[in-house]
Structure 1
Amino acid sequence: MTNLVATQRRGHTLVDGMPRPGCPERVIKGIFLIVICSLVVFPFIGVISTSLATPQEVTQAGGFVMFPTQGISLTAYRSIFAGGTVTQALLVSGFVTVVGIAISLSLTCTLGWALSRRRTVGNKALLMLVLVSLLFNPGLIPTYLVVQQFGLLDSLWALIIPTCVSAFNVIVVRAFFVGLPGEVLDSAMIDGASEWKTFRYIGLPLSRAVVAVIGLFYGVSYWNSFFHALLYINDASKWPLQLVLRTYVVNGVEIGGQDLGVAGEVLPPQTAIQMAILMVSVIPILCVYPFIQRHFAKGVLTGAVKG
């Protein structure tokens, strides 16, 4: 007790039983965090600035503008939204993401609920099958042959069905359902609720946090996926936005007026168009994340080891 009082008198307030870091430690941590944040923020500012800078300023700067000084121009965005490849890819990515999230959440939540109920027929065998699929990947060639056998090549369903259920997400949802109060579920069953009604009116409302986070995981996965489109999609009109981003930004392929739907018009510099495409691919996730953030910590820590 004497040591505790002495520590508080010296200005080292205890936080969770540990002495508060001294001033030098806090200064070093602050500098470190500022440096890390700068490494993330400044390139992002450069991308935004280049996409919004005037074509003349981008040309004068040699392709990359950190802070536009000659005004703001939406020429690059008007070019990519003129109805060409980028617009079509944005619609494809939106369809794949929305439909994929709906299918994935439906299958994941129902499977997780079934695995959490001990009286489900074949519960242990099904759980073991899920765990095996989590530990052992079938491989690229077998997966491609299965997609080909089902006639999904050059179809948008090839971007959804092969990855619509994640074994890891099923385990997380199952762990959450197992942790629900058994008394509440038993009382619903006593009142005559069927298994489906118990799941729909009790299980799902109590699991909004984990459903929101799993939905975010699926959404980011569908939105950012390009590899499956690279494998299964040959028709350029069915390319998702990330494959367009990889082709015209990462690989540096020049995008022409015919690709953008503005043939015959003077295009902005390629760098401005590339940065505009990059911003379009990032903004949807940035807009959705703040609404999910309040559920994120609770949903991610579901099933974690507690001490």
Structure 2
Amino acid sequence: MAVILLLLAIAAVVYPLYFVLIASISDPNQIYEGNVWFFPQGITFEGYQRIFGDIRIWQGLGNTFLYTIVGTAISVTAILCGAYALSRKDLPGRKFLMLIFIITMFFDGGLITKYLVVRDLGMLNTMWAVVLPGAVGVWNLIIARSFFEQSIPDELREAAQIDGANDFTFFLKMVLPLSKSLIMLMIMIHVVANWNSFFDALIFLNDDSKYPLQLVLRNILIQSDISSTGTTGGDVASYAAAQRIAELTKYAMIVVSSLPLMIALPFMQKHFTKGALIGAVKS
């Protein structure tokens, strides 16, 4: 019974993804008629041709890779350094600093305040407006701090100090090599977050050439919907063609935006499980 339930749960998760994949290369009319279940019908790659033929897609893809790499590097570096410092019992004001961080989990200044800060710092319409405001997640900071408290004993630091290592040397040569699971966990979390992020870009960027992929796909989808609904009612053939293109584009965009992460994440899954368990907060 447990195996059957598990298989049903897997099917409930996997089938929608599989359906989107086969729908992206199927004739929309076949989808409307309910003929697409397990195999594509009326195979066509028009949706992908239209997407990859748009220069905005390639610009957005390049921007997303840039934002993801830079944003992940900044976030992981800040979290590891901050969490290790907060894990040290000899840090002055350690409890007060942690309280300040925790308060930000429950109280937010709001979007207007955030916009004014970004504007006054001169980051509007730059990459930094996308990668810096949410660089440090407090919950990830707590997980990393708990990991260091549980996995890096004080005796190890004392032994390193006897051998002449200062705090920076100990952190770089001892702490980080012993924290590979945590590092991979943080990298995966922030890669996913940065790859899927679009709201900050929507608010802070006004140059189309700097839009990330998710925002570019959103704009293309909106344009497709407007084109399909804006067709005059008397021209049935034009309306049907526009609706067909909109449907093909919609499914193809889901695949294009999701496939890179779906390929990469299985290789990082073991690190995710191990890092999350080791860094779990214990009462």
1:245 to 210, 217, 224: 217
- Check the 8 A contact 1:63/1:272 in 2, yes or no: no
Structure 1 gaps of 5+ residues are 1-25, 257-265
For residues 208-249 of structure 1, the C-alpha deviation after alignment (integer angstroms, 9 at most, x for no partner) is: 111111111111111111211221122222221222333344
Q: Structure 1 residue runs of 4+, over 6 Å off?
A: none
Which has the larger helix fraction?
A: 2
2:17 corresponds to 1:44: yes
What's 1:162 paired with? 133
Structure 2 gaps of 5+ residues are 229-240
TM-score by length of 1: 0.77
What is the CA-CA distance between 1:277 and the residue it aligns to? 1.5
2:186 corresponds to 1:214: yes
2:176 corresponds to 1:176: no
- RMSD, aligned CA: 2.7
| Aligned pairs for 1:39-78 within 5 A | 39-53=12-26, 57-59=27-29, 61-62=31-32, 65-66=36-37, 67-71=39-43, 73-78=44-49
For residues 226-283 of structure 1, the C-alpha deviation after alignment (integer angstroms, 9 at most, x for no partner) is: 2112211222222212223333447863579xxxxxxxxx998222222222111111
Secondary structure at the aligned position of 2:225 is classed as: coil
| Aligned pairs for 1:128-277 within 5 A | 128-179=99-150, 180-249=152-221, 253=225, 269-277=245-253
- Check the 8 A contact 1:248/1:254 in 2, yes or no: no
Name which one, 1 or 2, has greater alpha-carbon Rg. 1
What's 1:304 paired with? 281
- Aligned residues between the structures: 266
What is the CA-CA distance between 1:183 and the residue it aligns to? 2.1
2:97 to 126, 132, 142: 126
1:101 to 42, 49, 72: 72
Secondary structure at the aligned position of 2:176 is classed as: helix
What is the CA-CA distance between 1:129 and the residue it aligns to? 1.9
Structure of greater relative contact order (alpha carbons < 8 Å, 6+ residues apart): 2
What's 2:270 paired with? 294
For residues 165-187 of structure 1, the C-alpha deviation after alignment (integer angstroms, 9 at most, x for no partner) is: 11111111111111112222221
- Check the 8 A contact 1:89/1:239 in 2, yes or no: yes
The structure-2 alpha-carbon separation of the partners of 1:249 and 1:35, relative to structure 1 and needing over 3 Å to count, comes to farther
Secondary structure at the aligned position of 2:190 is classed as: helix
For residues 123-154 of structure 1, the C-alpha deviation after alignment (integer angstroms, 9 at most, x for no partner) is: 33322222222232222111111111112222
The structure-2 alpha-carbon separation of the partners of 1:246 and 1:82, relative to structure 1 and needing over 3 Å to count, comes to closer
- Check the 8 A contact 1:108/1:165 in 2, yes or no: yes
What is the CA-CA distance between 1:61 and the residue it aligns to? 4.3
